[in-house]
Structure 1
Amino acid sequence: MSIGELIRLLSDGHYHSGQQLGERLGVSRTAVWKQLKKLEAMDLALEAVKGRGYRLADPIESLDGAAIVSSLPAAPRRHLSRLFIEDQLDSTSTFLRERFRQGAGHAEVCLAESQTAGRGRRGKAWSTSWGRSLIFSLGWRFEGGVAALEGLSLAVGVVMAEMLEAFGAEVALKWPNDLLLSVDGEWRKLAGILLEVTGDVEGPCEVVIGIGLNVALSEAGRAAAGQPAGALADVLQPVPSRNQLAARLIDALLSLLPAFEREGFVAWQAAWNQRHAYRDRRIRVHQGRQSFAGEAKDVDASGNLQVATESGIQALAGGEISIRPE
């Protein structure tokens, strides 16, 4: 019995006795009880009613590969090499990097209900609770070399923002790879993008695009975020289906990537600047142990953020840099 099987049973809205769960899962009631005790540690609230049994207080929509693929338009469905749906991984991006090492990986997508070692920029962890986020990675092989990838994470941010705006969310982009959500007039972090690249500077290279998107957040999840965090459930009712979100995201990325390889970031530059969260605002730039203040301007055709300082315009090119509003 896996914890995922138990969660899916308890998510149907009905109560299940320990005996029923044991029979469905082929284990003893004692084994079921041990797994039920784990749910609280996983930030999953359980309702228990004497004489009726157990169910999840907040039912979770499980990821469904067949539902995702059937929702794709014909073109992206043809271009999608393989879709993996996993209950729990250390990281969906690590999973796809291993697929590349095995000679596969291109146009493959991996989704997980939970991950134990998710990563953000600058080595930060991306904390997720089971079934409340879209934990997503897509692999792509580029022939033009690493230099051709300038601005790719920003272009991914643009197509994600367009997708979420179609659901009714008000979204802004924070350089270089965060999406912010407007909740009660405050910008809160909604999603993060992390690109991992291996290969040649001038020859073929392999990219894994890792995305974490908050669909719903518990209070414990907000506390673990370490910064103001938002989720689609804060502003959208009904909350979009995670399977629908996954299908829309696969569609958007499989359209973006071939076009990006031909055109570069310049085709998405204006759309990014229109959603620039800190445009013409005072910011503080942190780079290693150094920091300086300036006024954020537009991003250029390579995706570099222009910052006006007392000594002139500085172009920030990603890497170990973070910015905060002053």
Structure 2
Amino acid sequence: MTIGDLIRLLSDGEFHSGQQLGERLGVSRAAVWKQLRKLESLGIGMEAVKGQGYRLAEPLELLDGSVIVAGLSRQARSHVARLFVEDVVPSSNQFIRERFAQGAGHGEVCLVEQQSAGKGRRGRTWVTPWGRTLMLSTGWRFESGIAAMEGLSLAAGVALSRVLEAHGVQPRLKWPNDVLLATEGGGYGKLAGILVEMSGDAAGPCEAVIGMGINMDLPDDFRASIEQPVSAVRDQAPGLTRHQLAVELLGELMPMLADFERVGFEAWQAEWNARHAFAEQEVEILQGERREAAVAEQVDVSGNLWVRCDKRRWKLTGGEISVRGRS
């Protein structure tokens, strides 16, 4: 029995006694009780009523790979070699990296309910509650070398934005890898993060793992525990399901990966700049331990962000930016 097996039984909204759960899962009532206690640490609320049993305090939409595959267009499906749905893994990016090490990985997609060691940029931990996000990674092999992947994470942000905008969500993009959403109190909250990891030959075949973590529906107590402002898809699109978002996102993302080596980031440059959250605003640039203030301009055909300060103008090829008091 896994924690995912228990959650799936409880996700029907009905009460289940400890004995019923044990019989369905093939374990003792004591083992069931031990797993029920773990649910609280995963941020999953429970209701317990004497004489009736247990159920989830709120319904959870658990991912089903067959539903996602069935929803894909013919074009998207032609680019998906294999789709995995996992309950818990250290990280979906690591899962795909290991698939590459096994001689697979290209065109493969991994979706997970929860990551035990998920990471964002600069090695930060990416923490999410069970079933409240959409976390996926996909692998793609490029033949022209690492230079062919310039701007790939920015293009992925555009792909996600296109999908969300079709449902009335108004995301903004923060260079290089974040998707933001305006908050009621002003400023922006982080809606999604994108992490692209590359390996291989600088001038020859190389492999990219594109990871995306998207907040779908975050409880208030979880938001309060995060040190930065956060937002969720259902803040603006309450009816959008995780399955629907997964299907539509893969419908944008997989054809983009198939074309990227041929057309480069230039095909997505204008769309990224049109959604640029901090264009012509003063930002703080963080590169290692160095911090510097400048005005953000736009990104170029390679995905570099141009900035200026006084009479000096230069491009950022790495690091990150922030706006004090906002993001």
- Structure 1 residues 280-319: Cα deviation after superposition (integer angstroms, max 9, x where no partner): 101111111211111110111111111111241110012x
| Rounded Cα–Cα distance in structure 1 between residues aligned with 2:12 and 2:304 | 47
C-alpha displacement of 1:245:
1.1
SS in 2 for 1:243: helix
SS in 2 for 1:167: coil
| Structure 2 counterpart of 1:61, one-letter code | E
C-alpha displacement of 1:224:
4.2
Is it true that 1:215 corresponds to 2:195 in the alignment? no
| Rounded Cα–Cα distance in structure 2 between residues aligned with 1:61 and 1:296 | 39
Contact 1:127–1:225 (CA under 8 A) maintained in structure 2: no
| Rounded Cα–Cα distance in structure 2 between residues aligned with 1:188 and 1:227 | 8
Tell me the matched-pair count. Answer: 323
- For 1:39-118, list aligned pairs within 5 A: 39-118=39-118
| Rounded Cα–Cα distance in structure 2 between residues aligned with 1:80 and 1:287 | 36
- Structure 1 residues 10-29: Cα deviation after superposition (integer angstroms, max 9, x where no partner): 11111111111111111111
Corresponding residue for residue 21 of structure 1:
21
Is it true that 1:323 corresponds to 2:321 in the alignment? yes
Is it true that 1:35 corresponds to 2:35 in the alignment? yes
Structure 1 length normalisation: TM-score? 0.97
Corresponding residue for residue 204 of structure 1:
205
Corresponding residue for residue 195 of structure 2:
194
* Structure 2, gaps ≥5 residues long: none
- Structure 1 residues 5-59: Cα deviation after superposition (integer angstroms, max 9, x where no partner): 1001111111111111111111111111111111111111101111111111111
Structure 2 length normalisation: TM-score? 0.96
| Rounded Cα–Cα distance in structure 1 between residues aligned with 2:255 and 2:79 | 9
Identity of aligned residues (%): 55
| Structure 2 counterpart of 1:35, one-letter code | Q
| Structure 2 counterpart of 1:137, one-letter code | S
| Rounded Cα–Cα distance in structure 2 between residues aligned with 1:100 and 1:207 | 10
- Structure 1 residues 72-101: Cα deviation after superposition (integer angstroms, max 9, x where no partner): 001211221000110000001101101001
Following TM superposition, the consecutive aligned residue runs of length 4 or more in structure 1 with deviations greater than 4 angstroms are none
* Structure 1, gaps ≥5 residues long: none
Contact 1:183–1:235 (CA under 8 A) maintained in structure 2: no
Across the aligned residues of Structure 1 and Structure 2, the Cα RMSD in angstroms comes to 1.1
